A and B are shown apart, each in its own frame.
Chain A
Amino acid sequence: MTVTLWDTTGGDVVKALAAERRAGAMVATGLALTLVVTVDEKNVAEAERAATVAAQAHPCRLVVVIRRQLDTANRLDAEVQVGGRLGPIEAVVMRMYGRLTLHPESVVLPLLASDCPVVTWWHGAPPDEIATDPLGVLADRRVTDSSLAPDPIAALRQRAADFSPGDTDLAWTRTTPWRSLLASAFDALEPRPISATVASENGNPSAALLAGWLGRRLGVESRLEESGGPGVTEVEVLLGDHGEDAESGCSIRLSRPDGRLATFSRSGQPDRQLPLLRRQLGDLLAEELRRLDPDAVYAESLEQATALEGLSSRPPRRTHRWQDPAASQTTS
């Protein structure tokens, strides 16, 4: 069922959601978390689709915040759905206008499911400081996607500068299948790794994070190489015994030129082919929603990738320094 509220108030949205839950109590049982999504109008459909997929694994309340233009009168439009077109979840899709776009938390806070963890996902460019953003402060985990930035590598650096435990990046989530395949290979590794190379299309943040992970985990130097894509195409780790140089040693290589099928090669062993699909947004999101505690491995890989120190030891909670632009105008 869907209820649309035009030019409404936060209080009425809360009431509408309660009424819909009451009417359709069958669908909305066992909420595990609240997922807050901030997204631009043009990407709303994509974000909703992804959230719907993720919600099938993790029953959640979905709160979508779409900020429209700032220079206009305050206005809030909302769509409340319980078991509607977004599937068996509770969803509130809100469009905000005027000064209200600067204070979305005032509407979001009353809509959070009681005492459940909150995940905020920016589908699009996140604010520079997400840990102190009003919608970031209320979240236990903050999900961004560096690959959507105009300069993904610069975005990665910004994420590291602003990092606080609980942050994560879908560019990192994309590396999970690569990491699990590689990790299983190293379980039985006799010769020690001496260097690692990650090949990808230019400026791929997943490749940078993967290289960071390899560097930190294997304790070797890792390099990035440019290829034609799509995404990450190859990881090669050179192996050798102590004191020997790379020339004499063997290597392991995981290559995926077409974005679908990967070939795992190791010197002296036959090649093996494995499916290594580039996953859909919804699957990535679902993976991130599985754990709601800070991802320490991401933190150290990001450290390595951006050469910044001490990310995991930063305080997990920061506070939003609240400022009302309208108030400062009147007092000054």
Chain B
Amino acid sequence: MPDPCALVVFGVTGDLAKKKLIPAVYDLGNRGLLPPGFVLLGFARRDWGDGDFEQLARKAAEQHARTEFREDVWRRLADSIKFLPGSFDDDNAFDELDRTLVELEASHGIAGNVAFYLSIPPAAFPVVLKQLARTGMADGSERSGWRRVVVEKPFGHDLDSSVELNRLVDSVFTSHDVFRIDHYLGKETVQNLLALRFANTLFEPVWNSHYVDSVQITMAEDVGIEGRAGFYDSAGAARDVLQNHLLQLLALTAMEEPVAFDAEALRTEKHKVLGAISLPADLELSTVRGQYEQGWLAGERVKGYLDEEGVPPGSTTETYAAVRLGVETRRWAGVPFYLRTGKRLPRRVTEIAVIFKRAPHLPFAKTDTVELGNNQLVVRVQPDEGVTMRFGSKAPGSAMEIREVSMDFLYGSAFTESSPEAYERLLLDVLLGDKTLFPDHEEVEASWQVIDPLEEFWQGRIPQRYRAGEWGPRAAEDMLARDGRTWRRP
């Protein structure tokens, strides 16, 4: 159970707050994981009172909460839902916020502990952080409890801006109190990857270049840019997804065993592996950018990227990116890591596929094994969280024919309690002060060091077209075909 505390959310009227944060707070409350002294304080430029915000929060919880909506739970929580109107450059509003937090110590017993959640565009970071510094709210030593800040991606748009942002945040709060959210790390299966690797004896012996042929990490989305043209067009798939989620998944897949399952040990190993990532020599042949055109997806007609509202004509922003990376360590030398992400692909799916080498010798007739592919271990991050193993098995019948079969471990059916939402888990960790599942600024900067040369190379180039509803551009298939491989169909 966390200490008594307040959660202050800036930008509380945004999508993220409504769809993820507020429902996560409700779910935590419903599961009895919020301390008795807890306040959710919304801050936004709205002419609202506590009641208006409570209405919005209630609706958000009813619509998006994972657990059942219960009136009595809500009524208890509703008392602790406060709202403060104000814009980010309004000194009075922030003075008022500081006063309110002090008052809440007496009225709600929050004991001076406050977590600030910055659910706002990166451009607004400096002004809010300066306000927090000016009022002294950010400094726990001046107040009676702890002060933490939660930052959402994007963590900058290249190495320089990210270093700048990190310096700014760390100068206002101490770096120990900064929580960078990569919601992928809060997912059950991502944590299960660590369990799979480090709690078992079955996989560790083959988890290296002697047995692994290649690794494919895929994050596919069926949705388009969903009205986020302004942000998306200036970022693109590589900055939006590759830099954070995919490189984090790569790090967890490739890292060495941490000496303990704690924040410090995990960060050390992830940082080592991120630093060991190498880019291919020929970026032209080993990277692909794509942009979707109109097509049919899941039974519906969808627009092309250039026809989406708010996208400038002739935009060369990529909505698909695929890249081959190497990890220059003894364990992984020579094993390609293929990363891909895209929008408007046939299905929403994120998975890590470890593809093993073929058996060095097959004592069967050649025709018996034509349908046998490489053994695979697939960690499905979402949806249908679980693990699949693929291996060869004899097809029933009088002839000796070997074909591939898969063995499935499905999370939902194996555990009675459904897996908590990523935000629920991460929010709880923030309140508990556990940084195990949060990337620190060194990791973020190491990731940008991978992405920056790619972005530089891609600058001014026109992305390949792919039809909405297919698995990315043809060039991505060709890229793997050149290496004698094919993409898995997730």
Q: Please state if A30 and B406 are interface contacts (CB–CB under 8 Å).
A: yes
B373 nearest CB neighbor, chain A only: A115
- Whether A30 and B405, one on each chain, are in contact in the complex, defined by CB atoms closer than 8 angstroms, is yes
Q: A116 to B378, alpha carbons, bound, how many Å? A: 13
Q: In A3-23, which residues have CB < 8 Å from any B CB? A: 9-11, 14-15, 18, 21-23
Contacts of B413 in A (CB 8 A): 22-23, 25
When the two chains form their complex, are residues A110 and B295 in contact, meaning their CB atoms are under 8 A apart? no
Beta-carbon contact of B298 and A107 below 8 Å: yes
Contact pattern, B 373-400, Cβ under 8 Å of A = 1, otherwise 0:
0001010000110001010010111000
Is B371 in contact with A110, judged by CB distance below 8 angstroms? no
A99: Cβ under 8 A from any B Cβ = yes
Check if B488 sits within 8 Å of A114, measured CB to CB: yes
B467 within 8 A of A: yes
Assess whether A293 is in contact with B371, with CB atoms less than 8 Å apart: yes
Binds B, one of A46-54, A222-230, A322-330: A322-330
Interface membership of A290, Cβ < 8 A? yes
Number of interface residues of B (CB under 8 A): 39
Question: With an 8 A cutoff between CB atoms, is B290 at the interface?
Answer: no
Q: How far is the CB of A56 from chain B (nearest CB, A)?
A: 10
Whether B371 lies near A292 (C-beta < 8 A) is yes
A106 contacts partner chain B, Cβ-Cβ < 8 Å: yes
CB of A171 within 8 Å of the partner chain: no
A-B contact count (CB 8 A): 101
Contact residues, B444-490 vs A (CB, 8 A): 467, 469-470, 488-490
Nearest Cβ on chain B to A315's Cβ, whole angstroms:
13
Report Cα–Cα, A29/B222, bound state, in Å. Answer: 26
Q: A117 an interface residue at 8 Å Cβ cutoff?
A: yes
Number of A interface residues in the complex (CB < 8 A): 40
Q: Could you tell me the distance in whole angstroms from the C-beta of B216 to the nearest C-beta in chain A? A: 10
B469 engages A106 (CB within 8 Å): yes
A10 touches B297 (CB 8 A): yes
Q: Does A103 contact B (CB under 8 A)?
A: yes
Contact B347 A291 (CB under 8 A): no
User: For the complex, is A112 an interface residue (Cβ under 8 Å from B)?
Assistant: yes
Question: From B412, which residue of chain A is reached at the shortest CB distance?
Answer: A22
Assess the B298–A14 pair: CB atoms within 8 A: yes
CA distance A116 to B470 in the complex (A): 17
Instruction: Tell me if A291 and B299 are in contact (CB < 8 A).
Output: no
Q: Verify A327–B401 contact, CB threshold 8 A.
A: no
B interface residues with partner A (beta carbon < 8 Å): 222, 294-301, 346-347, 370-371, 376, 378, 383-384, 388, 390, 393, 395-397, 401, 403-408, 410, 412-413, 467, 469-470, 488-490
List the interface of chain A (C-beta within 8 A of B).
9-11, 14-15, 18, 21-23, 25, 29-32, 57-58, 74, 76, 96, 99-100, 103, 105-107, 109-110, 112, 114-117, 290-293, 322, 324, 326-327
With A106-B295, A324-B301 already in contact, 8 other A-B pairs whose C-beta atoms are closer than 8 Å: A57-B397, A76-B299, A114-B406, A115-B488, A115-B489, A116-B404, A322-B467, A324-B295
